[in-house]
Structure 1
Amino acid sequence: MAKLEIEIQTRKMLKPSTPTPNHLRTLKLSLLDQIASRKYVPVLFHYLPTSSSEGIAIASEKLQNSLAETLTNFYPLAGRFREDEFSIHCNDEGVEYVETKVVNANLAEFLHQEPKNIELLNDFLPDMDDHRPSSLLLGVQVNVLNCGGVVIGIQISHMVADAFTLATFVNEWAHTNLTRTTKDCLPSFGHLSSLFPARVLSGPQFSPPSNIDPKTITRRFVFDVLAIAKLMETVNSNATLTRPTRVAVVMSLIWKVLTGISTAKRGHSRDSCLGFTINLRGKSNIPSLEHALGNCATNGIVKIEAGKELNELVGKTIRDTCLLISKAASVDDLSSLIVSNWKKGVDRYLRGGDVYGFTSWCGFPWYEADFGWGKPSWVSYVCFDEWHITLLMDTKNGDGIEAWVCLNENDMIEFEKDPHILTLCSPIPK
């Protein structure tokens, strides 16, 4: 399929159904928000048509009403950044809501051919401007295909939300749309900024590169339960430590393949570094972080010297980082660890060399979002242009992992034909 034919049916600003109270009109950003990427985070929810599907007019009205109700609890998403970028004016200006009709696609066929159509996924997303004080923090696009299937595309500012917050928001919206009721007890914004206030950070600052190779390519690689079991066996046969997680073994393999490509290209090996994100919720001794909304994560860094084997280094470093988080005796200690990890990440990036970034969305309830059409057939990421970045997500059944890998064109050619990738990855989504 060369291009999706998408006709916009509705475009409007949706505001919270109840005005935000005056005492909540200003939300201070936290230190964790401050060091988050200045970008929008996308996600797509794909729903096949069902016999219980409502008429589009009824479904549209319900979706808009339930989103407006949900925004009363997620009110910062309808606000705007203040000029200082250290706070959000929760002024109920609204979020962008778009409905489209996709006239030349059947969702079942589209998903079956997904490896060939992956570049088209971005068309299901709302257009969002670069971050400015006047920029929106959330955009939603509801795409109705000619078969009756629906794809909901969401873009949210990473400066106000991480994967946990995004998943919480989507599931609450789905729950409200399905039941016409909101939950009695919901997590709240503002707690993280009281614990970890934003501050002036010294030293070099990270900014996204302006010279990204225009020929970056995103591909999705599926590691099913059998492939992960094989990876576990390989690691455990040489391991002296505890059993690594499935996320750690997939990260390790991808890192190994990428360093192999680098070695072959240069004719020699060199030091490489892997950065990964760790969700702080449930890992620190600060229980109030468990359900906090906003950004609540820190970075971990693994370095391996040229010529050394990877073994289970990734899993060990993840465990060591989590141990340091759990041992932080106070909020100040945890803040110091967060800033230290962030500075290490910036320093490694600025030094150049082989630096690979990973983030994992595994373990979040993406597939629980039932708007009334059943649970999604697929929850996906999209094509992106962040060179040497990999995002991991659970497969629908929860025991496999999808790896969304972004590389330059030449590296992707080598990656796709690597024997480990050819042996372990499913070529077609199941």
Structure 2
Amino acid sequence: MEKQNKMNSSNNNNHLEKLNTILIKPSKPTPLHLQTFKLSLLDQFSPNYHTNMTFFYPNHNNNNNTNNHFSDFSNKSKILQNSLSQTLSHFYPLAGRLHDATTIHCNDDGVFFIESRSTTTLSQILTNPNFDALECFVPTTEEKRNMLLLLRFTLFRCGSTAITTFVTHKIVELNTLIIFLNTWAAITTGNEIPLPDLTVAAALFPPREVPDVSGSVKNSNAKFTTRRFIFKASKIEELKVKIKNKFEFHPSRVEVVLALIWKCALSASIAVSGSKTTSFRRSILFQAIDIRTRMNPAVPETAVGNLAWPFWVTVEEESHVAIDEMVKIMRKGKMDFIENKAERFKEEGGFKVVMENLKERVEILKRNNENKGLVVYNSSSWCNYPLLEFDFGWGKPVWCSSVKNFAINLIVLMDTKNGGGIEAFVTLVEDEMKLFEQNQELLHYAVLNPTILISTSKL
């Protein structure tokens, strides 16, 4: 572990002061035969940008002395740095550098562990979550450099803490991030270590010489914003009851919530477009799906890499813009993907399937740029993932969030802390969001950005 020069820069807008930036290297050098890590074909097509997630940990210590807070924070930080170094020995590609389109050079150059201090309390964050304010946890351009992984450990004025992960999408999607965090937490607390499988992805999907289509995600010129909505379990059931007689299957809570959000977002888009286009706007919804469990035999859950792939569904006509119709379309699209595409991914013709699938996506997005009457949304469901279970020795996080500051028309769903409900993060163009967040059908089932209730007063 090497400590960079101490930096005391602060941002008056986000009240976050950077204390130290420490370079963490694997505790054991990566063996020579492992120093060239092959990306899988799916990794090759994954966009070359970083995703972030911040986990908030309440302070359960009754001592409110600020000096004690900082001393406790420093001790925790040293423990995390030590266990992170050990974790990187198992996730050695993350401590390397991207070499070319198909390989990572596992040279043990290390990752940055950034210590920060906030002038706010955790209760201020949780009382009214603000995604503009939460963006302060995302590393700056100076901090990112060419690293595949960065971590930020933040101390709040109340003694609570936050851990932020900032990791490349080149080899890490949600399931891989969970594998990493589970391993790090297990090493920190001395529990059994769930080791990652680093070889299966490239074995199933060998890298190929293909055009570089991943690139970097480009920001839209339009101003966009994110809002948080809570769908209580009772309201989700009410929505299901309203439409249940129209199905031959039992719709999932994710399907009905996603359909409602899609419908209301499209309604806002149509209203903003006004007479500039036709009254109806054709819409496409992309949904990411984990293919580990969709293949036969199933791929181990500990497999590292982008073993997720999007499928998409389309609203072709105005009569389809109803929640029950949208749910039917989504279910049909998902089953078609699972039954006709997922298994073919690892057959002899897997490369052909991937390329055909990719070509379709590129053509859709090209049409989106050319045809202003087409509205494209991207969605991910984090439901049923253990996002609030990572215990590093001082309890589990009370909330987690991700700042999506790179594109518009994003819908991310995750479980509420008490289970059964769904927390939705929706990113839209500002003009459309003004209408979306006032949609009465949406607000009948969802609450806009309620306080995150915590059973302690020491936040």
TM-fit CA distance, 1:207: 5.1
Deviation at 1:191, TM superposition (A): 1.7
Moved more, 280-289 or 61-70: 280-289
The 3 A distance-change label for structure 1 pair 390 and 86 is same
Is the counterpart of residue 226 in structure 1 residue 234 in structure 2?
yes
Q: Deviations over 1:268-292 (max 9, x none)?
A: 1032111111100111103334431
| 1:79-136 per-position Cα deviation (integer Å, ceiling 9, x unaligned) | 0010x2210001100011100111x21102321122xx321111123235799xx710
Residue number in structure 2 paired with 1:14? 24
Match of 2:253 in 1: 246
Instruction: Report the alpha carbon displacement of residue 244 of structure 1 after superposing the two structures with TM.
Output: 2.0
RMSD over aligned Cα atoms: 2.4
| CA distance in 2 between partners of 1:384 and 1:391 (Å) | 13
Quick one: which amino acid aligns to residue 192 of structure 1?
A: A
Question: Out of 373, 384, 399, which is 1:363 matched to?
Answer: 384
How far apart in 2 are the matches of 1:249 and 1:208?
32
Letter in 2 for 1:257: C
Q: Which residue of 2 aligns with 1:170?
A: 181
Shift of 1:327: 4.7
Q: How does 1:390-401 map to 2 (within 5 A)?
A: 390-401=411-422
Residue 305 (str. 1) matches residue 322 (str. 2)? no
Going from structure 1 to structure 2, the CA distance change for 1:299 and 1:340 (only over 3 Å counts) comes to farther
Question: Structure 1 CA distance, aligned partners of 2:202 and 2:388?
Answer: 30
Q: How many residues are paired up?
A: 420
Q: Determine the structure 1 residue equivalent to 2:54.
A: 44
1:375 aligns with 2:391: no
How big is each residue's C-alpha offset from its partner over 1:134-170, in whole Å with a ceiling of 9 and x where there is no partner? 7100000000011000011110000010100011111
1:260 aligns with 2:267: yes
Distance, in Å, in 1 between the alignment partners of 2:297 and 2:437 is: 43
Aligned to 2:299, the other structure's residue is in SS state helix
For the structure 1 residues 338 and 365, does the alpha-carbon distance in structure 2 shift closer, same or farther, using more than 3 Å as the test? farther
Distance 1:40 1:108 in 2: 28
Secondary structure of 1:186's aligned partner? coil
The Cα offsets for residues 335-391 of structure 1, whole Å up to 9 and x where unpaired, read as: 443333332222111101211111122222111100111110001112423111112
2:132 is aligned to 119
Q: Which residue of 2 aligns with 1:236?
A: 244
Q: Distance in 2 between matches of 1:295 and 1:271?
A: 29
In the alignment, what sits opposite 1:321?
337
Code of the residue aligned with 1:396 in structure 2: it is K
Using the aligned pairs only, state the percent identity.
Answer: 34
SS of the residue corresponding to residue 388 of structure 2 reads helix
Equivalent residue, structure 1, for 2:299: 288
Residue identity opposite 2:241 in structure 1 = E
Q: What displacement does 1:13 show?
A: 1.1
1:155 to 151, 156, 166: 166
> Matched residue of 2:320: which SS?
coil
Q: Which blocks of at least 5 consecutive residues in structure 1 are unaligned?
A: none
Distance 2:375 2:216 in 1: 16
SS in 2 for 1:288: coil
- 2: distance between equivalents of 1:139 and 1:305? 42
CA distance in 2, matches of 1:128, 1:18: 29
Match of 2:208 in 1: 199
Q: Indicate if the aligned counterparts of 2:48 and 2:214 stay in contact, CA closer than 8 A.
A: no
Match of 1:405 in 2: 426
Q: Take 1:35 and 1:336, find their aligned partners in 2: how far apart are those partners?
A: 14
- For the Cα contact (< 8 Å) 2:135–2:403, is it kept in 1? yes
Native 8 Å contact 2:293 2:299 kept in 1: no
Work out whether residues 26 and 85 of structure 2, in 8 Å CA contact, stay in contact via their aligned partners in 1.
yes
1:217 to 2:225 alignment = yes
Aligned to 1:66: 83
Supply the AA of the counterpart residue of 1:153: T
Equivalent residues in 2 for 1:175-190, closer than 5 Å: 175-179=186-190, 183=193, 186-190=195-199
Q: In 1, Cα distance between the equivalents of 2:222 and 2:251?
A: 36
Deviation at 1:65, TM superposition (A): 0.2
1:25 equivalent in alignment to 2:35:
yes
Amino acid at match of 2:121: N
- Aligned partners of 2:351, 2:446: CA distance in 1, in Å? 39
Contact conserved, 2:345 with 2:353, CA < 8 A, in 1? no
Matched with 1:90 is: 106
Structure 2: runs of 5+ lacking an equivalent: 1-10, 63-68, 369-373, 453-459
- Rounded Cα–Cα distance in structure 2 between residues aligned with 1:232 and 1:128: 45
Q: Distance in 2 between matches of 1:398 and 1:338?
A: 36
CA deviations 1:293-352 (Å, max 9, x no partner) are: 111011101012131324121122122212224653953344443333332222111101
User: 1:196–1:329: structure 2 CA closer, same or farther, 3 Å change rule?
Assistant: closer
The one-letter code matched in structure 2 to 1:226 is: S
- The one-character-per-residue Cα deviations of 1:396-416 (angstroms, maximum 9, x if unpaired) are 123222211111110000110
- Please state how far the C-alpha of 1:2 moved relative to its aligned partner: 7.9
Q: Tell me the SS of whatever aligns to 2:189.
A: helix
Task: State the match for 1:108 in structure 2.
Answer: 123
